[in-house]
Amino acid sequence: MGDLGVTVSPVQPYAARKQYLCPGCNNTIGVGVFHLVVVPDDEPDDRRHWHHGCWHKEMRRRFGAGTG
């Protein structure tokens, strides 16, 4: 479980074999692009794939500038 109610896991470029839509910017995360998988601890079926930078912006929005 994550301290903030989510579990964040990195996806290395060699393991990024599918395209996803980042919920932070609504742009495509391409094959071979490093990104993060964010899974809500209480809703594991609602996992989302985020660009690294987009997730950090979301963390600041949700939890304040001192987080992340």
Please tell me the number of Cα atoms within 13 Å of 51 on its side-chain side.
13
Is residue 36 in some structural domain?
yes
Q: Which residues does residue 37 pair with via DSSP β-bridges, in sequence order?
A: 9, 49
Q: 29-57, pLDDT tens digit by residue?
A: 999 999 999 999 999 999 999 999 999 99
- At residue 65 the predicted structure's pLDDT band, cuts being 50, 70 and 90, is low
Domain limits at 44? 6-63
Q: Summarize pLDDT for 4-38 with one digit per residue, the tens.
A: 799 999 999 999 999 999 999 999 999 999 999 99
Residue 68 belongs to some domain of the structure: no
Task: Kindly state whether residue 31 falls inside one of the protein's structural domains.
Answer: yes
Q: With contact defined as beta carbons under 8 Å apart, do 39 and 9 qualify?
A: yes
Number of domains present in the structure of the chain: 1
pLDDT exceeds cutoff 80 at 1: no
Identify the three-state secondary structure at position 60. Answer: helix
- The verdict on residue 1 lying in a domain is no
Any domain includes 34 = yes
